Amino acid sequence: MSRAGSRSQSEPSTQTLGEALSALVAELGIPFDQMLHTVEDALAVAYKRAFNPEGDVSVKLDTKTGALEVRSRVVRGGTVEVRELPSEDFKRMAAQTAKHAVLRHIHDLERDKVLRDVAEHKGELATGIVDRIESGIVYVDLGRAEGVMPPEEQIPGEQLIPGRPVLVIILDTQHNRKQAQVRVSRAARTFVHRLLEAEVPEIKAGTVQVRAIAREPGLRTKIAVSSSEPGLDPVGACVGPKGVRHRAILSELANEHVDIVPWSEDPEAFVAAALGPAHAERVTIDRVTRTATVLVPKNQLSLAIGRDGQNARLAAKLTGFRIDIKPSDADGESPPHAG
């Protein structure tokens, strides 16, 4: 962009605009018609602002001679009148206006290209530097683009410090005329999924599959995994030797609790696993109402439900079943449940 700016500054008058445009087109690979249209539109706006003529203003640039043709279009009584407007006084500002239009156009093209490139990495992890925090929004320097992480995409209670590196997942691009911006997250379920992929080679290889994720950011996440390879323990693969992979994920999530459980086609077995670390003695499934009634030892009732119902709630989200939990020695009392 700096080369384009210096080249434009070397063109002193309207008579050299055509040559300047041709040189820029050759240098930057921008279609000539696109660049010419941008400059003519900018010149029309500048003329209207400077002289305030009646009607709409259009400008045509003769790229061979550098001459300007300025016209206004006025509608009177259903008739369109086209008038030629004087351009001699306008020539003094035309070169500067054209230069700014070209630089702005190049900036927009570069921004759009960055956004297209970033869009191809949607759903992937990216490492950036925390640039600043304003009104609760964290801005992350991702190199060519700026990541924007609103409060709902942050891990509650996590303290991010400007100047420190941070790992995020790219959600989508967002409109900003000044620069390329993308919405990023650390609270999304996909963030945990990608962390697991990065730590567990078996997931990348396709021998272990992530079947479902339920998450309450900053508190707890439950992940259901399965294996397509006989004899391969999917939970053990994700936990890693001596728990090293599991600890790496916990470290990135600010020690958010992460439960990794085996997925099963058998809903009774899946619900029982999802309620871990509590032990389910019996699970009864009502497929019509999609309700699972679970009996647990009385001394594990609070563990199965979890603080504020969190464990049961996440198990319900993970399995897709409404879960009713009651102690195995229940005497008909109304059981606690999670939907």
Per DSSP bridges, beta strands 322-327 and 137-141 are unpaired
- Residue-wise pLDDT for 108-162, tens only, equals 777 777 777 777 788 999 999 999 999 999 999 988 888 999 999 999 989 999 9
pLDDT of 4 reads 40
Q: Is the pLDDT of residue 24 over 50?
A: yes
The pLDDT of residue 333 is: 46
pLDDT confidence of residue 102: 72
163 class by beta-carbon count within 10 Å (0-12 exposed, 13-18 middle, 19+ buried): exposed
Percentage with pLDDT > 70 across the chain: 89
pLDDT at 308 over 50: yes
Region 255-268: what's the mean pLDDT? 93
- Are 130 and 147 in contact by the 8 Å Cβ rule? The answer is no
3-state secondary structure of 76: strand
- 274-297 pLDDT, tens digit each: 999 999 999 999 999 999 999 999
Per-domain boundaries in the chain: 2-119, 125-184, 188-263, 267-339
Can you tell me the distance from the alpha carbon of 93 to that of 43, in angstroms, rounded to the nearest whole number?
9
Pairing of strands 165-174, 125-134: antiparallel
Its CATH architecture, for the domain 267-339, is 2-Layer Sandwich (3.30)
User: From CA 23, how far away is CA 242, in angstroms rounded?
Assistant: 63
89 or 232: which carries more pLDDT confidence?
Answer: 232
318 versus 29: the higher-pLDDT residue is 318
Return the CATH fold of 125-184: OB fold (Dihydrolipoamide Acetyltransferase, E2P) (2.40.50)
Q: How far apart are CA 275 and CA 261, in angstroms?
A: 9
The larger pLDDT score, comparing residue 131 to residue 85, is at 131
**What pLDDT score does 186 carry?**
97
Query: Is-same-fold flag (188-263; 267-339)?
Result: yes
Window from 97-106, 157-166, 178-187, 298-307 with minimum mean pLDDT = 97-106
pLDDT, average across residues 300-306: 93
Residue 309 has pLDDT above 80, yes or no: yes
Looking at residue 129, its pLDDT comes to 96
| Architecture of the domain made up of 188-263 | 2-Layer Sandwich (3.30)
Q: Express each pLDDT in 162-204 by its tens digit.
A: 999 999 999 987 776 677 889 999 999 999 999 999 999 999 8
pLDDT tens digits, 237-258: 999 999 999 999 999 998 789 9
In the predicted model, is pLDDT for residue 322 greater than 90?
Answer: yes
Whether the per-residue pLDDT at 320 is higher than 50: the answer is yes
Q: What is the mean pLDDT of the chain?
A: 85
Write b or e for each residue in 66-93: b if 16 or more Cβ atoms lie within 10 A of its Cβ, otherwise e: bebebbbeeeeeeeeeeeebebeebeee
The tokens describing 163, both together, are 């100047």
Mean pLDDT of 255-276: 94
Cα angle for residues 182, 187, 188 (degrees, 5° grid): 75
pTM as predicted: 0.70
Which CATH topology does 2-119 take?
Answer: N Utilization Substance Protein A; Chain:P; domain 4 (3.30.1480)
Residue corresponding to tokens 């005497």: 331
Q: How far is CA 251 from CA 136, 187, 195, 308, 327, in A?
A: 23, 15, 11, 24, 35
- Considering the chain, what percentage of its residues have pLDDT values greater than 90? 53
Q: What is the pLDDT of residues 37-50, one digit of tens each?
A: 888 888 888 888 88
